Chains A and B, each alone.
Chain A
């Protein structure tokens, strides 16, 4: 936030030259539709998104001097960034992959921010994409993802990702009195938002009753409490200097990693989201009351409910009441995931949560069309990887 005029001779706390807070910009974004992209590979989807982001930034391929990419469960490779660079036809000065599950997109953005800030590179392409839906069976997806569990002490028990989050949900509901009908509200909200985005995977409206009646997957998670498996790609450019009229600045960010396996997770009140948001607020010099738009990881309804409360966007056990009151709706006080989130725009792996940042950028630059919110001048983004294991919180500010 603007800290107002500084006294003569004093530097403002958001001064460009300030040693702690410096400038990098998200200069371009690119996003494919999510759902089925029959016949396209992970590299194809990454390329599509990268091309859109580079064009959006008004850059040429040759001006990209850094590449950060995620991973593909369909086409695993020990050097995906250079595989992609060769495929895409650029020779960056800096390139590697980053892997922190669902938090990968924001972790890459944070790294790109620091690389640009340090002068290592001028324009970093951050890209993720995967043909996760059509490139492998749904069983293969579920099985691959369950491997985030402990190989000796968890995986032999046959848990799935919905079961890991089902465990967390059962405890959260027990401690804070949250109900399945409360959780269903988040699925309904994300679907409502997806209805207005042509790129979203789902375009049929759903009700709380539909969510409650949907097929049980791993209690208390039912099918409509879970994000889908999708094909898709997302990309953005993080630059040291603006390249166009967009002035979306990375204001501050932080991470926290408390555990990998749900068996080793700390108590609900000590999870990483609370640690990372506290550090990010300090790094950015902002308060939650300054935030005008929220983009929060929503792999399951419970994930979104917990994170909103961990981040301070709702009191404990009260996020669902805020959904019902319209607080997180497009016209509400804190518009949330206006593209439909992972739950209804779709989830293609690393690209999944990157769509949240793309949508945030469109909102901040007034380009969200029929989804445009009134004021998205300061946004809070949060990503979660594993089973609430890895967290990245980030504030973006429109200058």
Chain B
């Protein structure tokens, strides 16, 4: 599989796969659908909108690079497209908040960063 052009490779996008056979969206990229096994998945670009499922603000990081960013908020977001993803977010996000993604630099990498939709 070719590398995805998304935030994991430094491109400002959140991509996911959609199964033509069973219709399930899938976030962790692979050559088949983990739900039904079908191949030939469509690659789609997510809107970046979703709802906060869980949050944890990291105060104790493990490397000098990540320590420079403390405190940072790790969030799980349930996207509009129906998959869950991990990302960063504003520190005061609460479970249930409607959010939208932009992108930011973290420890030398591009990462998705969610802010509250007003």
Partner-B contacts on A (CB < 8 A): 139, 142-143, 146, 150, 152-154, 156-160, 162-164, 166-171, 174, 215-221, 261-264
Within 8 A of A (CB), among B70-118: 72, 74-76, 84-88, 95-96, 106-107, 109, 111
Is there contact, CB below 8 Å, between A139 and B59? no
Question: How many whole Å from B84's CB to the nearest CB in chain A?
Answer: 6
Partner-A contacts on B (CB < 8 A): 8, 27-29, 53-63, 66, 69, 72, 74-76, 84-88, 95-96, 106-107, 109, 111
User: In the complex, which of the residues B8, B66, B95 contacts A171, with contact meaning CB atoms closer than 8 Å?
Assistant: B95
A-side contacts of B58, CB under 8 Å = 158-160, 162-163, 166, 218
- Of B63, B76, B86, B111, chain A has the most CB atoms within 10 Å of the CB of B86
Instruction: Give Cα A169 to B111, complex, Å.
Output: 23
* Given A157-B87, A263-B86: A163 in contact with B56 (beta carbons within 8 A): yes
B-side contacts of A142, CB under 8 Å = 60, 62
A-side contacts of B111, CB under 8 Å = 156-157
Chain A at the B interface: mostly helix, strand, loop or mixed? helix
A-side contacts of B55, CB under 8 Å = 167, 170, 219
Which residue of chain A has its CB nearest to the CB of B107? A158
Is there contact, CB below 8 Å, between A167 and B8? no
Instruction: Give Cα A168 to B76, complex, Å.
Output: 10
Known A139-B63, A146-B62, A170-B95; further 15 A-B contacts with Cβ < 8 A: A157-B87, A157-B106, A157-B111, A158-B58, A158-B72, A159-B56, A159-B74, A159-B86, A160-B61, A163-B58, A167-B75, A170-B54, A218-B57, A263-B85, A263-B86
- Of B28, B62, B72, B109, chain A has the most CB atoms within 10 Å of the CB of B62
Instruction: Give Cα A217 to B108, complex, Å.
Output: 23
- Of A154, A158, A218, A263, chain B has the most CB atoms within 10 Å of the CB of A158
A-side contacts of B59, CB under 8 Å = 215-219
Question: How many whole Å from B102's CB to the nearest CB in chain A?
Answer: 15
User: In the complex, which of the residues B28, B60, B63 contacts A162, with contact meaning CB atoms closer than 8 Å?
Assistant: B60
Instruction: Give Cα A262 to B96, complex, Å.
Output: 18
Instruction: Give Cα A221 to B53, complex, Å.
Output: 17
A-side contacts of B96, CB under 8 Å = 174
B-side contacts of A158, CB under 8 Å = 58, 61-63, 66, 69, 72, 74, 106-107
Which residue of chain B has its CB nearest to the CB of A151? B8
Is there contact, CB below 8 Å, between A218 and B56? yes
B-side contacts of A262, CB under 8 Å = 76, 86
Question: How many whole Å from A257's CB to the nearest CB in chain B?
Answer: 14
User: In the complex, which of the residues B27, B28, B88 contacts A157, with contact meaning CB atoms closer than 8 Å?
Assistant: B88
Is there contact, CB below 8 Å, between A215 and B60? yes
Is there contact, CB below 8 Å, between A168 and B63? no
A-side contacts of B54, CB under 8 Å = 167-168, 170-171, 174
A-side contacts of B69, CB under 8 Å = 158
A-side contacts of B109, CB under 8 Å = 156
Instruction: Give Cα A160 to B86, complex, Å.
Output: 13
Task: Kindly list the 5 A-B residue pairs having the minimum CB-CB distance in the complex, ordered from nearest.
Answer: A166-B56, A158-B66, A142-B62, A167-B54, A216-B59
Which residue of chain A has its CB nearest to the CB of B77? A263
